[in-house]
Amino acid sequence: MRRYVLGRLGQTVLVVLLSLTAVFGMVRLTGDPVLLFMPMDIQAKDVNEFRQRLGFNDPLPVQYVRFLAGALHGDFGESLRYRRDALGLVLERLPATLLLAGTAMALTLSVAVPLGVLAAVRRDGLFDHVSTIATVIGQATPGFWLGLMLIYLFAVQLRWLPTGGMGGVAHLVMPTVVLAAFYAARVARLTRSAVLDALNEDYVLTARAKGLAETRVIGKHALRNSAIPIVTLAGLEAGQLLGGAVVTETIFAWPGLGRLTVQALLNRDFPVVMAAVSFTSIVYTLMNLAVDLAYGWLDPRVRVRSS
């Protein structure tokens, strides 16, 4: 197990370094980065001063090393718009995103897993059909459209919920539902098929044959053995929630990391973009690591195979 953990940790460090390189490469990809960093309406005579100030006159390797060294210390430079530390801005917005992603994840798991298990147990019954239809529709519905329609219904027409912003619990309802809808549909589908797979295994037959109550057969044997694909997907989805937050936060004016990223992109505030994208990628990579470690813990076969 220790070797497995160390191996995965090493890989993670490598991926983080390469991701930072990718962020640097992406921004330098288009030739003159000054054009990206500048406000659109800047005067031509200011361009050179800008270039000098941001260090774009130095050779590329020097810039790269400076970026990497800075990034590893959490220094991505100063926001061009707010004149403040870029990473500081990102971290300031983090709690709002974590709150939203956390409630969405909790909603996803508390709805989708029981739904998937029930659908599998009552295979081809009415409940199974209804939940299959619901999940297929859930997966096809774009979050930003669902968000707009919910705003129209619950905020504009019924006036039950606020249209956006952050405040009490009421502000959290619609963004959570929108962010969770797509993922809940995926998790429910996967849970159903994982439980169905497990129900076909010999140990379930054995458990039933020895007269175990059906709730125990499912709860103890089937569900535990179908946990691996569910944990994997839930972990990967937790990372995708960060991406999904980009759209959801914009619709509901939720002051989180996703909205900050979109605004920074629109304002061409590239130090903030680099800080936000790098930060998201690192969190995402760490989440993948956590999933893999959970994997090794849930299924001893994994750590044997990989070492």
Give residues in contact with another protein (CB under 8 A): 11, 14-16, 18-19, 22, 26-27, 29-30, 36, 136-137, 139-145, 148-149, 151-152, 156, 239-240, 242-244, 246-247, 250-251, 261-262, 265-266, 273, 277, 280-282, 284-285, 288
Q: CB-wise, 17 or 213, nearer to another protein?
A: 17
Smallest distance from another protein to CB 11, Å = 8
Q: Where are the beta strands (DSSP E) in 158-286?
A: none
Smallest distance from another protein to CB 207, Å = 26
CA–CA distance, 183 with 125 (Å, rounded to integer): 24
Token pair, residue 244, equals: 């999904």
Q: CB-wise, 152 or 206, nearer to another protein?
A: 152
User: What phi-psi label fits residue 219: left (phi over 0), alpha (psi between -120 and 50 degrees) or beta?
Assistant: alpha
* CA geometry: angle 174, 179, 185, nearest 5 deg: 115
Token pair, residue 160, equals: 């039950």
Smallest distance from another protein to CB 41, Å = 17
Q: How many CB atoms lie within 10 A of CB 134?
A: 16
Question: Nearest CA to 305 among 7, 73, 25?
Answer: 7
Smallest distance from another protein to CB 132, Å = 8
CA–CA distance, 19 with 13 (Å, rounded to integer): 10
Q: CB-wise, 173 or 283, nearer to another protein?
A: 283
CA–CA distance, 288 with 282 (Å, rounded to integer): 10
Smallest distance from another protein to CB 62, Å = 22
Q: CB-wise, 65 or 153, nearer to another protein?
A: 153
Q: Where are the beta strands (DSSP E) in 27-170?
A: none
> Which residues are bridge partners to 85 per DSSP?
78
Smallest distance from another protein to CB 33, Å = 9
Smallest distance from another protein to CB 263, Å = 10
Q: CB-wise, 90 or 207, nearer to another protein?
A: 90
Q: CB-wise, 62 or 153, nearer to another protein?
A: 153
Q: CB-wise, 4 or 182, nearer to another protein?
A: 182
Instruction: Please give the DSSP secondary-structure letter assigned to residue 222.
Output: I
Question: Nearest CA to 283 among 238, 250, 232, 229?
Answer: 238
